[in-house]
């Protein structure tokens, strides 16, 4: 464990890295989300690190696709991400995530860096900061808390 007065300076400064799993019931994945991901990358908000797609058909058969192997219009839509993505998810990671995938559903598994945070992180590092805690608060929790406050104010 680092002591409070020690400073760690990595060679490459990364923003926070997140992964998300998004489900498409009925295997209705079309690639429609690709333009928004491209916009986020182009504007320096995120960097896609890895992206994998999983499909479970009606017969429970599980198929795993890298973005470059999707086929059809979805493959075309994710072509740019496939060029730059690395294979960070192991087969075991993907299978563990896919275990809960319902029959006749597809899922995207996305690993991305929040590049918007890099300049702030650099400023913190230059100021000699020490990270004490970090946590992602789900948007649904914030929405419920805001609604509870609004309900209290209305009483």
Torsion of CA 70, 57, 48, 121, to 10 degrees: 180
Q: The whole model's pTM is what? A: 0.77
CA distance 53 to 108: 5
What residues have CB less than 8 Å from 129, skipping those under 6 apart? Answer: none
Could you say which of 3.40.390, 3.30.1490, 1.25.40, 2.60.40 is the CATH number of the domain covering 17-113? 3.30.1490
Residues of the chain with CATH 3.30.1490: 17-113
- Statement: residue 90 has pLDDT above 80: yes
Query: Which backbone phi and psi does 39 adopt, to 5 degrees?
Result: -65, -45
pLDDT at 60: 76
Confidence of residue 17 (pLDDT cuts 50, 70, 90): very high
């Amino acid at each position: 464990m680092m002591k409070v007065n020690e400073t760690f300076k990595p060679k490459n400064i990364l923003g926070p890295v997140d992964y998300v799993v998004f489900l498409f019931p009925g295997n209705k994945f079309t690639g429609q989300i690709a333009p928004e991901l491209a916009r986020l990358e182009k504007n320096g908000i995120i960097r896609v690190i890895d992206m994998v797609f999983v499909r479970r058909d009606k017969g429970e058969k599980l198929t795993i696709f890298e973005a470059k192997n999707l086929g059809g219009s979805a493959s075309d839509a994710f072509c740019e991400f496939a060029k730059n993505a690395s294979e960070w998810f192991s087969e075991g990671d993907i299978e563990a995530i896919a275990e809960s995938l319902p029959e006749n559903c597809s899922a995207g598994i996305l690993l991305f860096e929040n590049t918007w945070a890099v300049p702030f992180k650099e400023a913190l590092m230059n100021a000699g900061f020490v990270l004490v805690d970090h946590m992602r608060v789900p948007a649904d929790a914030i929405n419920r808390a805001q609604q509870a406050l609004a309900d209290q104010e209305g009483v």
